[in-house]
Chains A and B, each alone.
Chain A
Amino acid sequence: MDGVRARRESRRSLRRSLGDRPRSGSGSGRVVVAAAARRALLRQQPAAFPDVDNDTPRALLRRVIRNQPQVSPLAPPIADHKETEDAPSEPSSRRTSSMVELQLPDIVPEDTSISTFRMTRSRKKLSISEFERAADKRLPQNQAHSTLDSTLARSLRMSLGSVLAPDTVEKRGLLRRPKNRKAIDIAAFEGGVEQNMQRKAQNYLVELQTASMIEAATATSDAEIMLNNTELFVQPQSVEQNQKKLPALEPRLSESKTPVQRSEISNATQEEGRLVGRVSSVGTDEGRTRRYSEEELINDGEHVDNMAHVSQETSVNDGEDEQGHSQQSEPVEQLSASAEVAGTMEHHTNTGYSEHLEKKLTERAESQIIMTPEEEVVAEGSVKHQDSAKPEPEMARSARAGSLSRHSHAFSSEKSGTKPLEEAVEQADELLEDRAVMGQLDGPEEESTEDEVEMEGQESEEGSMKTPTFVRAPAYRPLPLLPTPRSAKPAAPESPLQPQRAKPVPKTSRKSQKKQREPALASSYIKQIFRHYAKMPVARDAYQIIEKCCEKYFKQLSDDLEVYAHHAGRKTVEMADLELLMRRQRLVTDKMPLHVLIERYLPMEYRKLLIPVAVSGNKVIPSKSMWSSGKW
């Protein structure tokens, strides 16, 4: 047995190597294998010497196979049938492996030596049939033992039969030997089936449970993922969150009328206002915008020390973008907060006030003021005022004024302006603050000169109107400065307007005039579109620039269309003119027709109007009848 096993194992290893090599298909490999096989064979069977036939692997295999059946591989199982039943796994595996291995070499040299195989196969056949008969005999005996054993035996037989079947079919030339099929013991079979089913059911249940758990977990995660990712792009969330924060800030600012906060803010603003005043004295337009942001930053900053240092640095370095960027979030929020506050304030006050403010802002924005001497004077004045006035209300007022002024600057281009100071003044009135403080605060700002003058004038009037604290206003009048010609202009309309704050008539006339002059495209609409196309958070200041761009663009557009229509000898701008314009702008090309652009950018209802579609009944939508077009 051991010897047989040893030989079998050696043959197995040999055949494995031989079986593997032919697959690779390298001749050298075969030679090597042949040499190895020869050596192995020599070791095992010293009697067989290498002949001419044995040179080739085929010959070697043939020899091996011929010599193989000396000990039938099936014989031991028959003898030890009972033993094998007890432990069928090992022998079956060995038998199958051996049979499989036998098959492999059989396949390879089949062409050359079929006869020999047949001989071997016949021997195998006999052994198999004998085995089967023996197994059959043994079966009824074993049935008494246990169903398990029988099932195992049957499984064993079936496995063996399956392994042998292809072999027999191949080797016997499709001659089928009728196999003796045992009458299956129904009881044993059913028992085995039930056991299988139970086992399977258990497994299935376990699998189901695990699968369900996994599915549930994955489903929730997927759902979460789906729910989370509903935005077009992630960034706007941050913007919206910022916007949400702003209203949160706003009520905080508006509601918290605590002098403490204001004092802090006002302290910061005053200190930095001075610095800002000096900084602003030197500047170009672009620098001014940057400084605006700086001012906003500074004035809105809640961290006094930090801001002071930062402001100094920025003033020295001409406001780098990085600093501005890092701090911009604050001022942006503050600005918006202040804007919100201003808005609320506006609600409280008369609309005329806001009108004046807006007008003032626009005028200021348009004017190019050289503030240096004024700013210096203002700074001095502010210093003076600081000493005298009350700390808290002044601070608060200044803060409000500063914030409002900035806010107003931001909105200057869009709205007609009245003084931001007016709003601040109103706030001050409500807060019972000194007017002088307002003057101080306005001073440090770049455009403050006019504001100061007007503010003070207004403050005086407002003081008379509102609170007794404003009575002090006239005392501070002489403080500010030479009014520029522009200041005179806004001052004039503002003064008459001030007493008319309560009356909406002048305001409406102004507003209607403004609207008639220029039907402004809704800024929020432009914002919406731009934000959608930008796919990035956009700074608030950028929107003003975009607004101006749009105005310029419309001007260009109208000029071009007029030229085209005139060139065509028409007085009406037609679709062809617009298409020509788009062509010249390289929006419409030979590759990109107009219809495609229409479909891409415009909503469905407009598409229907623009693109003629043919429908049944010789009809085209939209109809291009004679009477609809203006030519005929």
Chain B
Amino acid sequence: MRRGAPRGTLRGLLRSHKPQLRLAAGGDLLVHLNFLMFLHRLAEEARTNAFENKSKTIKPEHTIAAAKVILKRSRG
């Protein structure tokens, strides 16, 4: 992560979804952390799927299957 967390974008995203909701001072950083971990889990799952298919690259099918699992798990 060389760019740094896009804090403004995160706030904007949250506002777009829930305009009435406010966010605390460091909240967007934790949101960013959550987002990173979500991507991490997604990447791991996709990688596992790719390995299972004995392919050296991650293909859309792998990511779709991974997304189903991870999105369900990260519903909270």
Chain A residues with a Cβ under 8 A of chain B: 235, 286, 289, 321, 325, 328, 517-522, 525-526, 528-530, 532-539, 541-542, 544-546, 548-550, 552-562, 565, 571-575, 577-579, 581-582, 584-587, 597-598, 601-603, 606, 609-610, 628, 630
Contacts and interface: CB of A to CB of B under 8 A. Distances in A.
B56 A536 contact: yes
B59 to A, nearest CB: 5
A554 B28 CA distance: 12
A542 B62 contact: yes
Contacts of A521: 6, 9-10, 13
Given A554-B17, A585-B73, A597 B37 contact: yes
A-side interface mostly: helix
Nearest to A520: B9
A571 B76 CA distance: 19
B4 to A, nearest CB: 7
B6 to A, nearest CB: 7
20 contacts: A286-B61, A517-B16, A533-B42, A535-B43, A538-B46, A542-B46, A549-B70, A550-B35, A550-B38, A553-B38, A557-B34, A558-B13, A562-B18, A562-B21, A572-B24, A573-B23, A573-B27, A577-B27, A582-B33, A603-B1
A571 B30 contact: no
A538 B34 contact: no
A528 B39 CA distance: 11
A623 B24 CA distance: 15
B37 A538 contact: no
Contacts of B16: 517-519
A529 B36 contact: yes
Contact of B24 (A519, A529, A542, A630): A630
A556 B75 contact: yes
A528 B2 CA distance: 9
A289 B25 CA distance: 42
A513 B42 CA distance: 31
Given A538-B58, A572-B22, A575-B27, A530 B47 contact: no
Contacts of B26: 575, 609-610
B20 A530 contact: no
Which of B32, B73, B76 counts the most chain A CB atoms within 10 A?
A: B76
Q: 10 closest Cβ contacts across the A-B interface?
A: A519-B12, A533-B43, A572-B22, A558-B17, A578-B30, A584-B76, A534-B43, A541-B60, A542-B63, A537-B57
A286 to B, nearest CB: 8
B interface, how many residues as a size bin? 35 or more
Given A553-B35, A572-B22, A587-B34, A545 B60 contact: yes
Given A528-B3, A578-B34, A542 B25 contact: no
A532 B42 CA distance: 12
A579 B31 contact: no
B56 A560 contact: no
Contacts of A546: 39, 42, 63, 67
Given A571-B22, A586-B73, A610-B26, 16 more contacts: A325-B57, A519-B9, A519-B12, A521-B6, A534-B47, A541-B59, A542-B46, A542-B60, A546-B63, A556-B71, A557-B14, A558-B13, A558-B14, A573-B21, A573-B22, A573-B27
Given A321-B59, A539-B60, A578-B31, A529 B13 contact: no
A528 B3 CA distance: 10
Given A542-B58, A542-B60, A571-B20, A529 B39 contact: yes
Nearest to A602: B33
B43 to A, nearest CB: 4
B36 A601 contact: yes
B60 A537 contact: no
Nearest to B30: A578
A4 to B, nearest CB: 79
A276 B2 CA distance: 42
A573 B17 contact: no
Contacts of B50: 536
A555 B17 contact: yes
Nearest to A598: B33
A544 B76 CA distance: 24
A517 B17 CA distance: 10
A560 B18 CA distance: 11
